[in-house]
Amino acid sequence: MTFGSSSSVLVTGATGSFGKALIATLLERFPDIRRIVVYSRDELKQWELQQQYPAAEYPQLRFFLGDVRDQDRLRRALEQVDTVVHAAALKQVPAAEYNPMEFVKTNVLGAENLIQACLDTGVQRVVALSTDKAAAPINLYGATKLCSDKLFVAANNIKGARDLRFSVVRYGNVMGSRGSVIPFFLNKAQVGVLPITDPAMTRFNISLQDGVEMVLWALDHALGGELLVPKIPSYRITDVAEAIGPGCEKPIIGIRPGEKIHEEMITSSDSFSTIDLNQYYAILPSDGSVQRQYRAAGLKVKSVEPGFAYNSGTNADFLTVEQLRDLIREHVDSTFQPV
Protein backbone atom coordinates (compact mmCIF):
# COMPACT_ATOMS: atom_id res chain seq x y z
CA MET A 1 0.00 0.00 0.00
CA THR A 2 1.33 3.42 -0.93
CA PHE A 3 0.29 6.53 0.95
CA GLY A 4 1.18 9.80 -0.71
CA SER A 5 0.81 13.51 -0.13
CA SER A 6 -2.96 13.31 -0.65
CA SER A 7 -3.55 10.36 1.71
CA SER A 8 -5.21 10.69 5.10
CA VAL A 9 -5.42 7.77 7.52
CA LEU A 10 -7.43 7.53 10.73
CA VAL A 11 -6.54 4.89 13.31
CA THR A 12 -9.01 4.13 16.09
CA GLY A 13 -7.42 2.89 19.28
CA ALA A 14 -4.23 4.45 17.97
CA THR A 15 -2.51 4.70 21.35
CA GLY A 16 -2.58 0.92 21.88
CA SER A 17 0.26 -1.45 21.05
CA PHE A 18 -0.88 -2.08 17.48
CA GLY A 19 -1.83 1.53 16.78
CA LYS A 20 1.58 2.84 17.82
CA ALA A 21 3.35 0.22 15.70
CA LEU A 22 1.20 1.14 12.69
CA ILE A 23 1.85 4.86 13.13
CA ALA A 24 5.61 4.27 13.41
CA THR A 25 5.55 2.21 10.21
CA LEU A 26 3.50 4.77 8.29
CA LEU A 27 5.77 7.65 9.34
CA GLU A 28 8.92 5.72 8.44
CA ARG A 29 7.67 4.29 5.16
CA PHE A 30 5.52 7.18 3.91
CA PRO A 31 7.04 10.44 5.24
CA ASP A 32 5.03 12.47 2.72
CA ILE A 33 1.66 11.19 3.96
CA ARG A 34 -0.72 14.11 4.31
CA ARG A 35 -2.34 13.24 7.61
CA ILE A 36 -2.53 10.52 10.27
CA VAL A 37 -5.39 10.96 12.72
CA VAL A 38 -4.77 9.44 16.16
CA TYR A 39 -8.24 8.68 17.48
CA SER A 40 -8.52 7.38 21.03
CA ARG A 41 -10.14 8.25 24.34
CA ASP A 42 -7.12 8.28 26.68
CA GLU A 43 -5.69 11.79 26.97
CA LEU A 44 -2.60 10.64 28.90
CA LYS A 45 -1.61 8.13 26.23
CA GLN A 46 -2.18 10.74 23.54
CA TRP A 47 0.00 13.21 25.45
CA GLU A 48 2.74 10.59 25.76
CA LEU A 49 2.55 9.91 22.02
CA GLN A 50 2.76 13.64 21.32
CA GLN A 51 6.04 13.77 23.30
CA GLN A 52 7.37 11.00 21.08
CA TYR A 53 6.22 12.77 17.92
CA PRO A 54 6.46 16.56 18.46
CA ALA A 55 4.33 18.65 16.12
CA ALA A 56 7.31 20.58 14.75
CA GLU A 57 8.81 17.33 13.39
CA TYR A 58 5.60 15.46 12.60
CA PRO A 59 3.06 18.00 11.32
CA GLN A 60 1.07 15.22 9.62
CA LEU A 61 -0.12 13.84 12.96
CA ARG A 62 -3.51 14.94 14.36
CA PHE A 63 -4.65 13.96 17.84
CA PHE A 64 -8.40 13.51 18.24
CA LEU A 65 -9.74 12.66 21.67
CA GLY A 66 -12.87 10.63 21.09
CA ASP A 67 -14.68 7.38 21.73
CA VAL A 68 -15.99 5.00 19.07
CA ARG A 69 -19.24 5.10 21.05
CA ASP A 70 -19.66 8.70 19.83
CA GLN A 71 -20.75 8.64 16.17
CA ASP A 72 -20.82 12.44 15.84
CA ARG A 73 -17.23 12.72 16.99
CA LEU A 74 -16.21 9.94 14.62
CA ARG A 75 -17.88 11.69 11.72
CA ARG A 76 -16.03 14.91 12.48
CA ALA A 77 -12.69 13.10 12.80
CA LEU A 78 -13.27 11.35 9.44
CA GLU A 79 -13.57 14.56 7.42
CA GLN A 80 -11.22 14.31 4.41
CA VAL A 81 -10.00 10.87 5.55
CA ASP A 82 -9.72 8.16 2.87
CA THR A 83 -8.38 5.20 4.90
CA VAL A 84 -9.45 3.82 8.30
CA VAL A 85 -7.83 1.16 10.46
CA HIS A 86 -10.10 0.13 13.32
CA ALA A 87 -8.06 -1.11 16.28
CA ALA A 88 -10.17 0.25 19.14
CA ALA A 89 -11.65 -2.42 21.40
CA LEU A 90 -12.08 -3.56 24.95
CA LYS A 91 -10.33 -6.92 25.02
CA GLN A 92 -9.66 -8.33 28.48
CA VAL A 93 -11.58 -11.62 28.74
CA PRO A 94 -12.30 -11.58 32.51
CA ALA A 95 -13.37 -7.93 32.39
CA ALA A 96 -15.85 -8.78 29.61
CA GLU A 97 -17.44 -11.52 31.70
CA TYR A 98 -17.96 -9.06 34.57
CA ASN A 99 -18.87 -5.96 32.49
CA PRO A 100 -20.65 -7.38 29.43
CA MET A 101 -22.56 -4.30 28.29
CA GLU A 102 -19.43 -2.13 28.33
CA PHE A 103 -17.87 -4.51 25.81
CA VAL A 104 -21.03 -4.53 23.71
CA LYS A 105 -21.11 -0.72 23.65
CA THR A 106 -17.50 -0.40 22.50
CA ASN A 107 -16.90 -3.50 20.38
CA VAL A 108 -20.31 -3.86 18.73
CA LEU A 109 -22.05 -0.49 18.83
CA GLY A 110 -18.71 1.26 18.31
CA ALA A 111 -18.13 -0.81 15.16
CA GLU A 112 -21.56 0.15 13.84
CA ASN A 113 -20.93 3.82 14.65
CA LEU A 114 -17.70 3.71 12.65
CA ILE A 115 -19.38 2.00 9.71
CA GLN A 116 -22.14 4.60 9.56
CA ALA A 117 -19.65 7.46 9.87
CA CYS A 118 -17.54 5.99 7.03
CA LEU A 119 -20.63 5.71 4.83
CA ASP A 120 -21.39 9.38 5.49
CA THR A 121 -17.92 10.68 4.63
CA GLY A 122 -15.39 10.15 1.86
CA VAL A 123 -13.67 7.07 3.28
CA GLN A 124 -12.57 4.52 0.68
CA ARG A 125 -10.80 1.72 2.57
CA VAL A 126 -11.56 0.26 5.99
CA VAL A 127 -9.74 -2.60 7.71
CA ALA A 128 -10.94 -3.73 11.13
CA LEU A 129 -8.92 -5.85 13.54
CA SER A 130 -10.46 -9.06 14.82
CA THR A 131 -9.15 -11.77 17.15
CA ASP A 132 -8.79 -15.54 17.23
CA LYS A 133 -11.31 -15.49 20.08
CA ALA A 134 -14.02 -14.48 17.58
CA ALA A 135 -13.96 -17.95 15.97
CA ALA A 136 -16.48 -20.22 17.74
CA PRO A 137 -16.46 -17.85 20.72
CA ILE A 138 -17.01 -19.13 24.24
CA ASN A 139 -16.49 -15.80 26.00
CA LEU A 140 -18.24 -12.47 25.68
CA TYR A 141 -15.20 -10.68 24.32
CA GLY A 142 -14.99 -13.16 21.44
CA ALA A 143 -18.72 -12.90 20.84
CA THR A 144 -18.58 -9.11 20.59
CA LYS A 145 -15.69 -9.29 18.14
CA LEU A 146 -17.50 -11.88 16.02
CA CYS A 147 -20.46 -9.54 15.88
CA SER A 148 -18.14 -6.69 14.93
CA ASP A 149 -16.60 -8.82 12.16
CA LYS A 150 -20.05 -9.57 10.77
CA LEU A 151 -20.99 -5.89 10.82
CA PHE A 152 -17.92 -4.84 8.84
CA VAL A 153 -18.34 -7.62 6.27
CA ALA A 154 -22.06 -6.86 5.85
CA ALA A 155 -21.33 -3.14 5.48
CA ASN A 156 -20.22 -3.88 1.91
CA ASN A 157 -23.87 -4.67 1.13
CA ILE A 158 -24.98 -1.10 1.81
CA LYS A 159 -22.14 0.94 0.34
CA GLY A 160 -24.06 1.50 -2.90
CA ALA A 161 -21.98 3.13 -5.62
CA ARG A 162 -19.37 4.42 -3.17
CA ASP A 163 -15.72 3.54 -3.77
CA LEU A 164 -15.60 1.95 -0.33
CA ARG A 165 -14.36 -1.44 0.85
CA PHE A 166 -14.70 -2.95 4.33
CA SER A 167 -12.47 -5.89 5.28
CA VAL A 168 -11.35 -7.62 8.48
CA VAL A 169 -8.06 -9.15 9.61
CA ARG A 170 -8.02 -11.83 12.30
CA TYR A 171 -4.87 -13.05 14.00
CA GLY A 172 -3.65 -14.68 17.20
CA ASN A 173 -1.89 -13.41 20.27
CA VAL A 174 0.45 -10.53 19.55
CA MET A 175 3.90 -11.13 21.03
CA GLY A 176 4.62 -8.57 23.71
CA SER A 177 1.29 -6.73 23.58
CA ARG A 178 -0.13 -5.39 26.82
CA GLY A 179 -1.89 -8.04 28.87
CA SER A 180 -0.44 -10.95 26.89
CA VAL A 181 1.31 -13.95 28.44
CA ILE A 182 4.93 -13.14 27.58
CA PRO A 183 5.13 -9.77 29.41
CA PHE A 184 3.19 -11.39 32.25
CA PHE A 185 5.68 -14.26 32.52
CA LEU A 186 8.66 -11.90 32.21
CA ASN A 187 7.34 -9.99 35.19
CA LYS A 188 6.45 -13.07 37.24
CA ALA A 189 9.83 -14.66 36.55
CA GLN A 190 11.41 -12.03 38.80
CA VAL A 191 9.70 -13.68 41.80
CA GLY A 192 10.43 -17.19 40.58
CA VAL A 193 6.87 -18.39 39.93
CA LEU A 194 5.18 -18.82 36.53
CA PRO A 195 1.51 -19.83 36.98
CA ILE A 196 0.36 -22.23 34.24
CA THR A 197 -3.35 -22.26 33.49
CA ASP A 198 -3.34 -25.67 31.78
CA PRO A 199 -0.29 -27.63 30.59
CA ALA A 200 -2.07 -28.56 27.33
CA MET A 201 -2.81 -24.93 26.39
CA THR A 202 -1.61 -23.59 23.03
CA ARG A 203 -1.92 -20.23 21.31
CA PHE A 204 -1.16 -18.71 17.92
CA ASN A 205 1.65 -16.16 17.81
CA ILE A 206 2.31 -13.11 15.66
CA SER A 207 4.60 -10.12 16.07
CA LEU A 208 3.26 -6.58 16.13
CA GLN A 209 5.10 -5.77 12.91
CA ASP A 210 3.65 -8.80 11.13
CA GLY A 211 0.22 -7.62 12.22
CA VAL A 212 0.95 -4.19 10.77
CA GLU A 213 2.16 -5.69 7.48
CA MET A 214 -1.00 -7.76 7.24
CA VAL A 215 -3.21 -4.69 7.65
CA LEU A 216 -1.23 -2.81 4.99
CA TRP A 217 -1.57 -5.83 2.68
CA ALA A 218 -5.32 -5.91 3.27
CA LEU A 219 -5.66 -2.20 2.51
CA ASP A 220 -3.89 -2.75 -0.78
CA HIS A 221 -5.35 -6.07 -1.93
CA ALA A 222 -8.70 -6.80 -0.25
CA LEU A 223 -11.73 -6.40 -2.49
CA GLY A 224 -14.10 -5.88 0.43
CA GLY A 225 -15.91 -8.53 2.47
CA GLU A 226 -12.91 -10.75 3.25
CA LEU A 227 -11.94 -11.87 6.70
CA LEU A 228 -8.21 -12.46 6.35
CA VAL A 229 -6.27 -14.91 8.53
CA PRO A 230 -2.45 -15.22 8.48
CA LYS A 231 -0.52 -18.47 8.40
CA ILE A 232 1.41 -18.22 11.66
CA PRO A 233 3.03 -20.58 14.18
CA SER A 234 1.65 -21.77 17.50
CA TYR A 235 3.32 -22.15 20.87
CA ARG A 236 2.68 -24.31 23.93
CA ILE A 237 2.21 -22.36 27.13
CA THR A 238 4.61 -24.76 28.84
CA ASP A 239 7.28 -23.95 26.23
CA VAL A 240 6.81 -20.22 26.85
CA ALA A 241 7.31 -20.83 30.58
CA GLU A 242 10.41 -22.94 29.89
CA ALA A 243 11.80 -20.30 27.52
CA ILE A 244 11.43 -17.52 30.10
CA GLY A 245 11.96 -19.23 33.44
CA PRO A 246 13.47 -22.72 33.28
CA GLY A 247 14.40 -22.40 36.95
CA CYS A 248 11.02 -21.07 38.08
CA GLU A 249 8.24 -22.93 39.85
CA LYS A 250 5.32 -23.64 37.50
CA PRO A 251 2.15 -24.35 39.47
CA ILE A 252 -1.02 -25.36 37.59
CA ILE A 253 -3.80 -22.91 38.49
CA GLY A 254 -6.58 -23.82 36.01
CA ILE A 255 -8.02 -21.84 33.12
CA ARG A 256 -9.80 -18.54 33.65
CA PRO A 257 -13.52 -18.12 32.91
CA GLY A 258 -14.07 -17.83 29.16
CA GLU A 259 -10.67 -19.27 28.14
CA LYS A 260 -10.07 -22.06 25.64
CA ILE A 261 -7.36 -24.72 25.77
CA HIS A 262 -6.66 -24.12 22.06
CA GLU A 263 -7.54 -21.15 19.91
CA GLU A 264 -9.23 -21.33 16.52
CA MET A 265 -9.06 -18.82 13.72
CA ILE A 266 -11.01 -20.78 11.11
CA THR A 267 -13.65 -23.30 12.15
CA SER A 268 -14.64 -26.33 10.09
CA SER A 269 -17.96 -24.62 9.43
CA ASP A 270 -16.05 -21.74 7.79
CA SER A 271 -14.17 -24.12 5.49
CA PHE A 272 -16.81 -24.09 2.77
CA SER A 273 -16.28 -20.36 2.18
CA THR A 274 -12.54 -20.15 2.91
CA ILE A 275 -9.89 -19.69 0.22
CA ASP A 276 -6.10 -19.97 0.31
CA LEU A 277 -4.24 -16.83 -0.80
CA ASN A 278 -0.77 -18.36 -0.18
CA GLN A 279 0.34 -15.96 2.55
CA TYR A 280 -3.12 -15.71 4.09
CA TYR A 281 -6.43 -17.50 4.26
CA ALA A 282 -9.61 -15.53 3.53
CA ILE A 283 -13.04 -16.37 4.89
CA LEU A 284 -15.48 -14.99 2.34
CA PRO A 285 -19.21 -14.26 2.61
CA SER A 286 -21.16 -17.48 2.08
CA ASP A 287 -23.31 -15.94 -0.69
CA GLY A 288 -20.40 -16.21 -3.15
CA SER A 289 -20.34 -12.47 -3.94
CA VAL A 290 -16.66 -11.94 -3.17
CA GLN A 291 -15.67 -15.18 -4.91
CA ARG A 292 -17.26 -13.78 -8.07
CA GLN A 293 -15.34 -10.52 -7.62
CA TYR A 294 -12.08 -12.45 -7.39
CA ARG A 295 -12.85 -14.35 -10.57
CA ALA A 296 -13.96 -11.17 -12.36
CA ALA A 297 -10.63 -9.60 -11.41
CA GLY A 298 -8.84 -12.57 -12.97
CA LEU A 299 -7.60 -13.87 -9.62
CA LYS A 300 -7.38 -17.59 -8.92
CA VAL A 301 -9.61 -18.76 -6.09
CA LYS A 302 -8.16 -21.83 -4.39
CA SER A 303 -10.64 -23.28 -1.89
CA VAL A 304 -9.51 -25.15 1.21
CA GLU A 305 -10.64 -28.72 1.79
CA PRO A 306 -14.18 -29.14 3.19
CA GLY A 307 -13.93 -29.54 6.95
CA PHE A 308 -10.62 -27.67 7.15
CA ALA A 309 -10.04 -25.94 10.50
CA TYR A 310 -7.18 -23.71 11.64
CA ASN A 311 -6.52 -24.48 15.29
CA SER A 312 -3.51 -23.62 17.46
CA GLY A 313 -3.45 -27.15 18.87
CA THR A 314 -3.42 -28.96 15.52
CA ASN A 315 -1.29 -26.38 13.69
CA ALA A 316 1.61 -27.97 11.81
CA ASP A 317 4.00 -25.16 12.81
CA PHE A 318 5.08 -24.89 16.48
CA LEU A 319 7.75 -22.61 17.93
CA THR A 320 10.54 -24.29 19.90
CA VAL A 321 11.84 -23.01 23.23
CA GLU A 322 14.93 -21.55 21.54
CA GLN A 323 12.84 -19.90 18.83
CA LEU A 324 10.65 -18.35 21.52
CA ARG A 325 13.72 -16.96 23.28
CA ASP A 326 15.00 -15.45 20.04
CA LEU A 327 11.60 -13.90 19.31
CA ILE A 328 11.37 -12.43 22.81
CA ARG A 329 14.75 -10.77 22.29
CA GLU A 330 13.70 -9.52 18.86
CA HIS A 331 10.23 -8.24 19.67
CA VAL A 332 9.90 -7.75 23.43
CA ASP A 333 13.19 -7.28 25.31
CA SER A 334 16.58 -7.28 23.59
CA THR A 335 18.32 -7.86 26.93
CA PHE A 336 16.21 -10.90 27.88
CA GLN A 337 17.94 -13.83 29.56
CA PRO A 338 16.17 -16.94 30.92
CA VAL A 339 16.01 -17.17 34.71
- The per-residue pLDDT for range 168-183, each reduced to its tens digit, is 999 988 987 877 899 9
Overall average pLDDT of the 312-336 stretch: 95
What type of residue is 226?
Answer: E
The pairing of strands 234-236 and 202-206 is: antiparallel
**pLDDT value of residue 177:** 80
Looking at residue 1, its pLDDT comes to 64
Task: Name the band, by pLDDT with cuts 50, 70 and 90, for residue 236.
Answer: very high
Least confident among 200-204, 208-212, 301-305: 301-305
Over pLDDT 70: what percentage of the chain? 100
Query: What pLDDT does 85 receive?
Result: 98
CA distance 9 to 81: 6
Rounded distance between C-alpha atoms, residue 327 and residue 314, angstroms: 22
**Which positions are catalytic?**
133
Helices (H), the chain: 17-29, 43-52, 71-77, 93-98, 100-103, 110-120, 140-154, 181-188, 208-221, 237-244, 289-296, 321-331
Domains and CATH numbers, the chain: 8-172+206-231+266-307 (3.40.50.720)
Distance of alpha carbon 196 from alpha carbon 96, whole angstroms: 22
In 3D, which of 142, 138, 88 has the Cα closest to residue 110?
A: 88
What's the pLDDT band for 3 if we cut at 50, 70, 90?
A: confident
Query: Which one, of 187, 184, 182, lies nearest residue 208 by Cα?
Result: 182
Read off the pLDDT band of 327 (50, 70, 90): very high
Average pLDDT, the chain: 94
For residues 115-131, average pLDDT: 97
Task: Give the range among 125-139, 154-168, 213-227, 280-294 with minimum mean pLDDT.
Answer: 280-294
Sheet of 165-169: strand order equals 61-65, 35-40, 8-12, 83-86, 125-129, 165-169, 227-230, 280-283, 274-276, 302-303
Interhelix angle 237-244/321-331, nearest 10 degrees: 70
Q: pLDDT class for 152, splitting at 50, 70, 90?
A: very high
Residue 90 pLDDT class (50, 70, 90 cuts) = very high
pLDDT of residue 300: 78
Residue 321 has pLDDT above 70, yes or no: yes
H or E element, residue 61 = strand 61-65
Q: Are strands 125-129 and 165-169 parallel, antiparallel or unpaired?
A: parallel
User: For 6, which DSSP code?
Assistant: T
**pLDDT tens per residue, range 266-300:** 999 999 999 999 899 999 998 888 888 888 878 77
DSSP assignment of 251-274 equals -B--PPTT--SS-EEE-GGGGGGE
